[in-house]
Structure 1
Amino acid sequence: MPAITPQIRKKVLALFDAGRHRNDIARELGISGPTVTRICRAEGRQFDRAAEALELRAEQVDLEKLRERVAKKMLIVADDTLNDLEAPHLVYNFGGRDNTYQEHLLDEAPLDAKLNAMRTASLAFDKATRIVEKSDTGLDQAVGVLDSLAIGFELAAAQIRAEDASDTGPDAS
């Protein structure tokens, strides 16, 4: 991990001011997330964890939708591949010494083509099923809601502590 130079501190603050998230800043600069937090806190800046949690949850929802679209495409590939087995199958050969081309239309796919198609369809179906099984549990949504609530409680508690500290400080009468 690099030493924290004044230039790195300046970059951290500039990225913070540009609205970047703590972990993004840490990754970009090759420093730890807690180091980013300490630098920002020392300059009176604080990350909005609730907003970050909501943005993270939105990103997770987007990824879930993408997984579902990919699963659907995989099932379509599996279905199309299996349907192709029932159609006439063109076999061909080209090249050779005389650089010729020959083709022949078979009533159905040859055995090696059927085996390849079955492997492809089976793999696509298996992967799509695993994607769908993962997303149908609702567990991710429940965890996301609980995480959001926990962050909200944490922020509320921090605010109450700060208010209590300011009420009992040396200037309080």
Structure 2
Amino acid sequence: MKKLHAAGLSANAIAKKLGVSQSTVSRWAKQDGLRFDRTRTAEAVAAHTIDLAAARTRLAEKMAARAEQLLDSLDGEYLVYSFGGRDNTYSEHLLKKPPVEVVRNAVTTAGITFDKLTRIVEKDPDVSGAQSVVQSLEAGILAAAEALRQPETSADSE
């Protein structure tokens, strides 16, 4: 084992070559006062950590964009439709604004997204870009909540 270690093989490579477990190789190395270079392992872990952070950021951006689209869709007219009756007929009606339950669901969805994005921001300390995304999402949620607080009149529902 000492010759293999001196040749620069990893504990895993030595274990495979000798047909023993990696823990056995580690135990033998410890008894002989040998240490394995863990630089490549540390670099791989660091690279994987960076990849995961990048994936979280991409997901956060997608979540924020969808939540913003959802909130923006509340600003216009809202089409309601149905299929039904014996002949399975289609009917539709265009409302001046979305019904209260639609607004409530959109604001709730955006709130959940905001909560998730906040957790991502807390997990990745260097997220200066993500903070602006969260801040703009917060502004959208507050605006939608304000719209939800305004009483719906019967003329608005028609």
Q: What amino acid does structure 2 have at the position aligned with 1:51?
A: R
Q: CA–CA distance in 2 between the matches of 1:116 and 1:95?
A: 25
The runs of 5 or more residues in structure 1 that have no matched partner are 1-15, 26-34, 139-173
Are positions 1:108 and 2:97 aligned together?
yes
Structure 1 residues 39 and 105, CA gap change in structure 2 (3 angstroms): same
Matches within 5 A, 1:18-97: 35-39=21-25, 48-97=37-86
Deviation of the 1:64 alpha carbon: 0.4
Matched with 2:87 is 98
Q: Runs of 5+ in structure 2 lacking a partner?
A: 1-11, 29-34, 128-158
Q: Give me the whole-angstrom Cα distance separating, in 1, the residues matched to 2:66 and 2:118.
A: 13
Name the CA distance, whole Å, in 1 between partners of 2:73 and 2:48: 37
> What RMSD in Å do the two structures reach over aligned CA positions?
3.1
What SS class does the counterpart of residue 91 from structure 1 fall into? Answer: strand
Determine the C-alpha separation between the residues in 1 that align with 2:85 and 2:38. Answer: 68
* CA displacement at 1:132 relative to structure 2: 1.4
Give the whole-Å Cα distance in 2 for the aligned partners of 1:80 and 1:106: 19
Establish whether residue 123 from structure 1 lines up as the match of residue 112 from structure 2: yes
Contact 1:77–1:124 (CA under 8 A) maintained in structure 2? no
Work out the CA distance in 2 between the residues paired with 1:102 and 1:39: 74
Q: TM-score, normalised by structure 2?
A: 0.58
Distance in 2 (CA, whole Å) between partners of 1:47 and 1:85 is 60
Residue 137 of structure 1: how far off its partner (Å): 5.5
Identity of aligned residues (%): 43
Higher relative contact order (CA 8 A, sep 6+): 2
Instruction: State the TM-score, normalizing by the size of structure 1.
Output: 0.54
* AA matched with 2:38: R
